[in-house]
Amino acid sequence: MATVSGTDRQKEGKNTTSFGGQILDRPSDDYVVKVGAESDVRTGNSGNSTSEYNAAAYSFGLSSFPERCRPKQIYYAENEQDVVHVVKLACERGVGLAVRTGGHQYGGFCSTTGENLQLDVRDAFKYKSYDADLDVISLGVSWDLDIVDAWMRELTRKKDGAKGCFIPHVECGNVHAGGHMQSGGLSAMIPRSFGYFADHILQFTLICPPLERGGDPIKRTVTKPKTDPRSLTPREDLPAASASSAT
């Protein structure tokens, strides 16, 4: 198995278009990611390519469904152009594409197997801003929610010592914003008081597959009905979610 950048793949003639991030190949067609004390899962520090693939393929669903978490290739996107590249590549090959931000899908559905690909965007979209007048944040999908919480509390902390604003979300702060939003934003305790995370999403941008093989992926922005247009400032350079905060 080789671990190379997308630009190296282009030089080798194994890829006809540019991908700026890292690409990891499954060691063999029948390889299953190893789980247990003797594996290098989540470390990837042994210096060999199999260990690096093990660490990259890890998700919460791995211990229960290791057969689901063995993508043919793992693509670490750095920006929107990389996302477009991998979506188009999967369509051209006629294979499935799983998308991962934080890897907290317990059923292993943020991963895949067979000839299918995995697109990892955990570091690709770390953009955030806050409009105090409208009480709205614009947030890239790659952020850990505990980091977003700390950032929002500091920005909105009142002079009288009140704790400020937050976004309702799952109890585990290591969950990333993109996957949590996409799956609704379920929480065991908070929804009865503040609703799901998805209830507070005003707008999101996504990359859709092309309508036919060989076409270009389609970028779409979806807006919640009856949203005040003043609160929406979509960025053209990256997928982001705009969300209202809860006080």
Measure the CA angle with vertex 188, ends 186 and 189; round to 5°. 115
Point out the domain boundary residue: 120, 144, 166.
Answer: 120
Question: Contact 71/113 with Cβ under 8 angstroms?
Answer: yes
Instruction: Name every residue whose Cβ is closer than 8 Å to that of residue 134 and which is 6 or more positions away in sequence.
Output: 228, 230, 231
Decide if pLDDT at 71 tops 60.
yes
Which domain-ending residue is among 120, 145, 179? 120
pTM: 0.77
Residue 234 predicted with pLDDT over 60: no
Structural domains counted in the chain: 2
E strand residue ranges, 126-210: 128-131, 136-140, 201-208
Is residue 135 located within the same domain as residue 234?
Answer: yes
Note the pLDDT tens digit of each residue in 170-209: 667 678 777 777 777 677 666 667 778 788 888 889 899 9
Residue 95 domain boundaries: 3-120
Are 24 and 74 within one domain?
A: yes
pLDDT tens sequence across 5-21: 444 444 333 444 589 99
The residue with greater pLDDT, 194 or 237, is 194
Give me the pLDDT at residue 193, please: 73
Q: Which of 67-71, 146-150, 152-156 has the least mean pLDDT? A: 152-156
Which CATH number do you get for residue 224? Answer: 3.30.465.10
The answer to whether residues 122 and 176 touch, using CB atoms and an 8 Å cutoff, is yes
DSSP state of 61: T
**Same domain assignment for residues 37 and 139:** no
Q: Which of 242, 231, 240, 234 is nearest to 203 (CA)?
A: 242
